[in-house]
């Protein structure tokens, strides 16, 4: 199990690096899918099969398909790549680099000091997860639901169109 | 349950072999049945009733030139047909064909199927994109639009069954149907899942990404030889998968009167749904993809949500009655 964990983690790290270094955006997205799948395997090994399945269904499945859909609609060519290269000067990287270095430091500290669970000792089944989500974390679930509702209402508002089809006789009257 | 342990390799070989033998056989079955319903003969020359037409077709596909267009994205172009075959065959691991005859008895069985089905859509999207061809790209765009329309209510339509059983394990779901098939209490779930399943396999009337009368061959216009063959077989494997899932989740799987062995009951039910899939192809016209999207999100999605809510309410009420809670 430990070996499988390290392999999956390695795949996740490598594929994530590939995501940000590819210039071909569809190839980058393919690596993103691989990265999500590797994360799902990590979840599975750590004893969270439900989280693993949801990772694949929601992230690797639905969300990346949506991103691909948008990219195909926009159909950007090489000009977009060169333009983006102009935007991304080395100075842009400084801020994020400092912040992520901080996070990295914290992560290393946690691994060093904090207690961590051994691989595959405790499997969280769906029932247990549901009880936790709708017990102590009910407020977070409700807040998440409200956020999604706001998103749906917003999308509906943006996507709503006034009725364009007017009968030709009525149209003449308006003029 | 105490069934005799079967060698797991034997189960894997049985499921894989069965799926890969039946799937090409379905090509012959489909052509014969379509011919029957359209008042013509269909393939009837090679072998008895034309069965050997499958062999001839396969040989033809193997010996055709396997051409990769110079303008295509080669790597993605090669990977795409593999994805469809891999994901569909992977989904077969969660299907119990007879008691104990299951490759992997996951406790997240149904979720595993949903995950694999959402992965399967990549073969269409990537295949169409990598072909670098207008028709193929249009096909794959439609494929993505179709995925967005059916995926959500496909998952939700199965949750009623999961609620009634209290488990995602497919074997538990089949065993829970000893008294009554779930098609009775979950009729809405069955209908919506069947519609989603047809969209999932990209069969007529929902073969929108392929649509040979509009888009040449849609996402696989540029494919030839065995790469096309994989898409072709993948479609039939998908029909088998959806049919066997419907059988397991709504029609009691292997359960049936004792005079036939369980595996025969399973196959009978599965083939009944395969026949239904073929009948649909023979009878229904194809909607536009925005019509499918509207149908999915405005009609089927609310229906599945309502179904889920009412099912949950009834279960809650019943468990309350057991505990003597007054509402």
- Interface predicted TM-score (ipTM): 0.77
Q: In this predicted model, what pLDDT tens digit does every residue of B263-293 receive, in sequence order? A: 888 888 888 989 888 888 888 888 887 888 8
Does residue B2 have a pLDDT over 60? no
The mean per-residue pLDDT over the stretch B5-28 comes to 82
A1: confidence class by pLDDT, cuts 50, 70, 90: confident
Q: In this predicted model, what pLDDT tens digit does every residue of B98-137 receive, in sequence order? A: 777 777 777 788 888 888 888 888 888 888 888 888 888 8
Asked whether residue A127 is assigned to any structural domain, the reply reads: no
Q: How far apart are CA B91 and CA B237, in angstroms?
A: 10
A108 with A144, same domain?
no
Q: Looking at CA atoms only, how far is residue A123 from chain B in angstroms?
A: 11
Mean pLDDT (chain A) is 82
Q: What is the pLDDT of residue A147?
A: 95
A21 with A84, same domain?
yes
Instruction: Give me the phi and psi of B213, to 5 degrees please.
Output: -80, -10
Nearest chain A residue to B162 by CA distance is A126
Mean pLDDT (chain B) is 83
Q: How far apart are CA B153 and CA B160, in angstroms?
A: 12
The mean per-residue pLDDT over the stretch A113-127 comes to 70
A77 with A34, same domain?
yes
A90 with A174, same domain?
no
A161 with A99, same domain?
no
Copy the structure tokens of residue A135: 């017990």
Does residue A78 have a pLDDT over 50? yes
Judge: A26–B151 Cβ closer than 8 Å, yes or no. no
Chain B residues lying within 8 Å of A30, measured CB to CB: 76, 126
A12 with A48, same domain?
yes
Q: Looking at CA atoms only, how far is residue A171 from chain B in angstroms?
A: 27
Q: What is the pLDDT of residue B114?
A: 87
| Most confident by average pLDDT, A160-164, B31-35, B224-228 | B31-35
Asked whether residue A128 is assigned to any structural domain, the reply reads: no
List helix spans (H) across B8-108.
8-37, 53-63, 74-91
Whether B126 and A47 have beta carbons less than 8 Å apart is answered as: no
Whether B112 and B91 have beta carbons less than 8 Å apart is answered as: yes
A113 with A161, same domain?
no
**CATH code where residue A22 lies:** 1.20.120.1200
A53 with A84, same domain?
yes
Look at chain A and report how many structural domains it folds into.
2
A113 with A154, same domain?
no
A25 with A84, same domain?
yes
Does residue B212 have a pLDDT over 80? no
Chain A residues lying within 8 Å of B144, measured CB to CB: 65, 68-69, 72
Q: Which domain holds residue A142?
A: 134-175
> Which A residues, 101 through 160, put their C-beta within 8 Å of a C-beta on chain B?
125-126
Instruction: Give the domain-ending residue among A91, A121, A151.
Output: A121
DSSP-derived 3-state class of residue B101: strand
Nearest chain A residue to B136 by CA distance is A72
Whether A29 and A67 have beta carbons less than 8 Å apart is answered as: yes
């Amino acid at each position: 199990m430990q070996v499988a964990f390290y392999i999956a983690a390695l795949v996740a790290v490598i594929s994530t690096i590939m995501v940000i270094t590819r210039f071909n955006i569809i190839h980058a997205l393919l690596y993103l899918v691989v990265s999500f799948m590797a994360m799902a395997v990590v979840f599975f090994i750590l004893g969270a099969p439900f989280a693993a399945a949801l990772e694949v269904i929601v992230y690797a499945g639905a969300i990346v398909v949506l991103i691909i859909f948008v990219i195909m609609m926009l159909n950007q060519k090489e000009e977009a790549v060169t333009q983006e290269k102009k935007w991304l000067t080395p100075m842009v990287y400084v801020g994020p680099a400092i912040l992520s270095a901080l996070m990295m430091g914290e992560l290393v500290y946690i691994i060093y000091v904090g207690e961590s669970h051994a691989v595959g000792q405790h499997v969280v089944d769906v029932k247990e997860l549901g009880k936790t989500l709708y017990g102590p974390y009910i407020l977070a679930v409700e807040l998440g639901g409200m956020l999604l509702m706001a998103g749906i209402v917003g999308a509906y508002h943006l996507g709503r169109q006034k009725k364009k089809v007017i009968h030709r006789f009525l149209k003449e009257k308006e003029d | 349950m105490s069934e005799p342990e079967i060698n797991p390799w034997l189960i894997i070989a049985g499921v894989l072999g069965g799926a890969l033998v039946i799937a090409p056989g379905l090509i012959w079955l489909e052509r014969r049945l379509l011919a029957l319903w359209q008042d013509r003969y269909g393939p009837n020359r090679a072998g008895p009733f034309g069965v050997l037409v499958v062999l001839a077709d396969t040989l033809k596909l193997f010996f055709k030139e396997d051409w990769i267009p110079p303008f295509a994205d080669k790597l993605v172009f090669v990977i795409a047909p593999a994805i469809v075959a891999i994901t569909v065959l992977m989904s077969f691991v969660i299907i119990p064909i007879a008691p104990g005859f299951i490759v992997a008895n996951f406790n997240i069985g149904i979720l595993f199927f949903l995950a694999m089905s959402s992965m399967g859509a990549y073969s269409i999207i990537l295949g169409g994109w990598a072909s670098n061809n207008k028709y193929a790209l249009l096909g794959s765009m439609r494929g993505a639009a179709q995925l967005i329309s059916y995926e959500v209510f496909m998952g939700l339509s199965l949750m009623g069954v999961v609620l009634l059983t209290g488990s995602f394990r497919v074997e538990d779901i089949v065993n829970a149907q000893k008294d009554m098939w779930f098609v009775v209490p979950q009729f809405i779930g069955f209908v919506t899942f069947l519609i989603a399943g047809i969209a999932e396999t990209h069969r007529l009337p929902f073969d929108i990404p392929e649509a040979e009368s509009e888009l040449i061959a849609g996402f696989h216009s540029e494919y030839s030889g065995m790469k096309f063959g994989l898409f072709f077989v993948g479609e039939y494997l998908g029909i088998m998968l959806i049919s066997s899932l419907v059988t397991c989740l709504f029609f009691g799987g292997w359960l049936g009167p004792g005079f036939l062995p369980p595996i025969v009951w399973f196959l009978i039910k599965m083939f009944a749904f395969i026949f239904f899939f073929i009948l649909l192809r023979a009878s229904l016209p194809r909607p536009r993809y925005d019509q499918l999207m509207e149908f999915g999100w405005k009609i089927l999605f609310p229906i599945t949500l309502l179904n889920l809510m009412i099912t949950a309410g009834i279960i809650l009420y019943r468990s309350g009655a057991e505990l003597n809670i007054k509402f």
